[in-house]
Amino acid sequence: MSHSTHPAKEPKGHEAGPIASSTLPIHLRAATLDDVPALVPLVLRLKSLNEEFDPLLKVRKDAEKMAAEVLTRDIKDPEAIVLATEGVGADKDRIVGVVRARIRERPFYAPEREGVILDIYLLPLYRRHGVGEYLLEEVTKAVKAKGAGVLTAEFPIQNHIAASFYNKRGFRPTMGLYSRPL
């Protein structure tokens, strides 16, 4: 994955926030091991949100350590992708977004290889500027390069904003994950 800069969509007038001056020259790159400490809080924010949807998504006490472990593993793993988004202005050297995806084999279905988005998170001030869409485009390219013929996304079923994000971009629900505590 090469470095790239994306002139994200011009924000709408009524949504103009503190950083919405013109376009967002967002810088997206493959994460390195040095990025892990900065990525962990973003992943934890996402997991804390998920916790609100269902008691079975309660965040573990050691989640911070686990996030670091998982990110470290996936940054090294050729069957995974971790992209980091750098901010603009005062946030220039700060990581403000992350997307993590893994390649899964599909033994019974074609296409055989699936890219699955496991974490995608952007700090609030960077939303509504088309940055999420850019993250999705880049992760799509990356999993395709690894031979994936289908892209999926996992998120809590009650997260209607996520559902709407993917619905608008050509995704449809295909599999369900039903849970009960034991």
Partner 1 sequence: MVQATTPTAESPPRPRAETVPPPEDEEARTGALGERALALARFYQGKIETVPKVPVRSLTDFSLWYTPGIAHVSRAIEKDPDLSFELTGRWNAIAIVTDGSRVLGLGDVGPAAAMPVMEGKALLFRYLGGVNAIPVPIAIDTEDEFIETVVRLSPAFGGINLEDIASPKCFRILGELQRRLPIPVWHDDQLGTAAATIAGLLNALTLTGRDIRTTRTVLLGAGAANIATARLLIALGQDAHLLTIVDQKGILFAERDDVDSLSLRNTWKYHLALTTDGGGRRGTLAQALRGADVVLAASRPDPTTISPAAVRSMAPKPIVFALANPVPEIWPDQARAAGAAIVATGRSDFPNQVNNSLVFPGVFRGVLDARARSIPDEIVIAAARELATHAQDRGLTPEHILPTMEEVGIFPHIAAATAETAVRLGIARTRRTREEFYAHALEVIQHSVHLATRLLEDGLTLPMPDEPPGGTRGTR
Question: 3-state DSSP helix/strand/coil percent for the chain, to nearest 5?
Answer: 35, 25, 40
Asked if residues 8 and 24 have their Cβ atoms less than 8 Å apart, the reply is: yes
Asked if residues 35 and 95 have their Cβ atoms less than 8 Å apart, the reply is: yes
> Smallest gap, in angstroms, from Cβ of residue 59 to partner 1?
12
> Smallest gap, in angstroms, from Cβ of residue 155 to partner 1?
12
> Smallest gap, in angstroms, from Cβ of residue 45 to partner 1?
6
| Residue closer to partner 1 (CB basis): 49 or 116 | 49
| Residue closer to partner 1 (CB basis): 51 or 112 | 51
| Residue closer to partner 1 (CB basis): 161 or 177 | 161
Instruction: Name the residue among 48, 19, 6 with its Cα closest to residue 132.
Output: 6
Strand ranges inside the chain, DSSP E:
4-7, 25-30, 80-86, 95-105, 113-122, 150-153
| Residue closer to partner 1 (CB basis): 18 or 170 | 18
Residues found near partner 1 in the complex (CB under 8 A):
15-18, 45-46, 48-49, 52, 123-125, 127-128, 159-161
> Smallest gap, in angstroms, from Cβ of residue 20 to partner 1?
9
